[in-house]
Amino acid sequence: MKDHASLAEQFIKDEARTDWHDETLWFVRQKRDKAAYGLPEWEQLRTWASEIKDHTLSALDNYLVEFETNAIANGIKVHWAVDAAAHNKIVYDIMKAQGVKKLVKSKSMLTEECHLNEYLQQQGIEVVDTDLGERIVQFRKEPPSHIVLPAIHLKKQEVSDTFHEHLQTEKGNNDPQYLTHAARLHLREKFIESSVAITGVNFAVAETGGFVVCTNEGNADMGAHAAKVHIACMGFEKIIPKAAHLSVFLRLLARSATGQPITTYSSHFNKPRHGQELHVVIVDNGRSRQLGREDFRNSLKCIRCAACFNTCPVYRRSGGYSYHTAVAGPIGAILNPNLDVQAYSDLPFASTLCGSCTNVCPVKIDIHQQLWKWRQVVTEEAKVPISKKMGMRFMAWILDCNVNYKAAGKIGRWVMRNLPFLVKNKLNPWYKQREMPDAPKESFKEWYIKNKKA
C-alpha cells in the first residue's frame, strides 16, 4: 500500500516539473487573492457562508425533507443512497430502465468518490466525461488530480499526444486553442447522441426543491438539456435553506476557485423540461457519521472550491495523486480518514499545519486544526508505523520538559557545528533533498537574555 510520503517522493524526483506544478497552482492562488481583495465585504461573506452552513447542518434532516417534498412537487424523482454501492446501483437501474448503454457526465466529485465510472463500465455502459480536463484524464485512464482542475498535472505536449491518439489531432500541435476546439467538436457529437446525462450538484435549495450546477464550459447544460433523462448526484451536505443564500455562495465559489467573479454558467434546475425525466440522488456515504464527530463535522461545510489545494505548500509540491483518493489536498486529508481510517491514516500527516488552508477557506472550515486532531485519532485507531509512534513519543518527551528541550538544543547545535557528518548523511531523512542549515552559536533565548541586558 502506497502512502503519501512515498508517492510524493516519486513526484518530486522530477525537480523541474515539481517547480512547474508548484508555480502553476500558486498562480491560481494569486488570482483568488486578487478577486477576494476586490470585495471589501469578503470577510463578511465568509462569515455569512460559514453561519448558513452551520445552521443548515444543525437542521439538516428537516431541510432534506423540505427539499425532497418540494422537488417531488416539481416533478423530480428523488432517490436516497446510504453508500457508494447504493448510489451506483440507483444510477444503473435508471440506465437499465431506459435500455441505454452510454451516457455523458459533467464534473461530479461525488461520482468519483463512489467510483461510478468503473462500476458502470463493468456493467457494459460507456461513460463519457465531458469536462475538458476530465475527458483528457479519462482518455489517459487516469483519475483527476485536482477537483476543479482535473488535468493540472499535465503539460500541453502530453494533452496533444493524447488527443493525437484518440481524436486524430495533428501530431506535435500543442496549441491549447486548437486542442480545445478538437475536444469541442468531439464532445458536441457525444452530447447530441446521448439520451442520459449525469451532472453533479453545487447547491440544492430546500425552499424551492431545485438545484444549481456551476460550470465554465457549458458541458453540464449541453448534456442535461439534450438528454431525455438527467440524473443529478449530490452529497447530502449540498443543501442550503433558501434561494437568497445562493447569492452568498455564488459570490464566494468562483472567486475562491479560480479568481473569476462567477462561473460562466450558474444553472438553476427546478423542474424537468416537458417530456424529460429528472432524477436527484441524495448520497450519505459516511457523511452522517462525520456529522456525529464534533471535531470533524464542519468539514461537511465544504463547497469544493479547492482554494485549500492551491494554497497548500504540500499539495503544490506533491501533486494530487500522492493523496491516492478522489478528493485530494487539505480538505481530502480531513474527509477521507472518515471513510477509511486505516487506508487514509497517512493523509493528516501530509501537511505542515501552516494554516493557509484555513485562511483561504470560503466557509471557514478549521482545516489545519482538524488535520492536527485527525493525527491524534489516527495514531490511536489505525496502524501507524512504529518509527512514527516512537518518534512522536520522543519529541513529546523533549518538548514537554524545559531541561530536556534546552539540552537537546545545545547538543543539536554542537553536533551540527563539530560533527556535521552525523546529520549530513543519507540515514537522516531531513537531509534528503535539503541542505542542513548552519547551526547558530546560541539559541534565541540566550541571545535574548544577553541583548535585553545590553
Partner 1 sequence: MSGRAAILNTIKNNKPAATALPFIDVSAAIQYIDLLQQYKTVLESIGGSWQELNNEIELEAAIQSITGTSTAVVNTMLSLPKDLAGVDAVALEPTAIAIMKGLVAVAENAAIWVTEEQMVNRLLPFICQQLVLVINEHDIVPTMHHAYKKINVAATGFGVFIAGPSKTADIEQSLVIGAHGPIGLKVIIVKNKYV
- 375-434 residues near partner 1, rule: CB under 8 A: none
Q: How far is CA 325 from CA 310, 343, 383, in A?
A: 17, 10, 19
Amino acid at residue number 229: V
Q: Exactly one of 210, 319, 337, 348 binds partner 1 (CB under 8 A); which one?
A: 210
Residues 5-24 that bind partner 1 (CB under 8 A): 24
Asked if 96 touches partner 1 (CB under 8 A), the answer is no
Q: Which of 248, 288, 220, 263 is nearest to 81 (CA)?
A: 288
Binding flag, residue 359, partner 1 (CB under 8 A): no
**SS3 of residue 451 by DSSP:** helix
Residues paired with 239 in a beta bridge: 204
* Identity of the residue, 121 or 264, whose beta carbon is nearer to partner 1 in the bound complex: 264
- Which member of 34, 72, 173, 192 binds partner 1 (CB under 8 A)? 192
Q: Which of 33, 102, 126, 267 contacts partner 1 by CB under 8 A?
A: 267
Site for partner 1 in 294-353 (CB under 8 A): 294, 297
Among positions 137-176, residues that touch partner 1 (CB under 8 A) are 149-152, 154-156, 159, 176
* Smallest gap from residue 37 Cβ to partner 1 (A): 12
3-state secondary structure at position 211: strand
Site for partner 1 in 105-144 (CB under 8 A): 130-133, 136
Footprint on residues 22-41 left by partner 1 (CB under 8 A):
24, 27-28, 39-41
Residue 194 CB burial class (10 angstroms; 0-12, 13-18, ≥19): buried
Residue of 7, 77, 102, 266 interacting with partner 1 (CB under 8 A): 266
Q: Which range in 116-124, 245-253, 410-418, 421-429 contacts partner 1 by CB under 8 A?
A: 245-253
Closer to partner 1 by Cβ: residue 300 or 350: 300
Angle at 138 between CA 265 and CA 105, to 5 degrees: 40
Q: What is the 3-state secondary structure (H, E, C) of 130-192?
A: CCHHHHHHHHCCCCCCCCCCCCCCCCHHHHHHHHHHHHCCCCCCCCHHHHHHHHHHHHHHHHH
SS3 90: helix
Q: State the nearest-atom distance from the C-beta of 401 to partner 1, in Å.
A: 38
Beta carbon of residue 225, minimum distance to partner 1 (angstroms, whole number)? 4
CB of 165 to partner 1, least distance (A): 16
Q: CB under 8 Å to 98, separation ≥6 — which residues?
A: 195, 196, 228, 229
Eight-state DSSP code of residue 228: S
Residues 56-85 that bind partner 1 (CB under 8 A): 57-61, 64-65, 74, 80-82
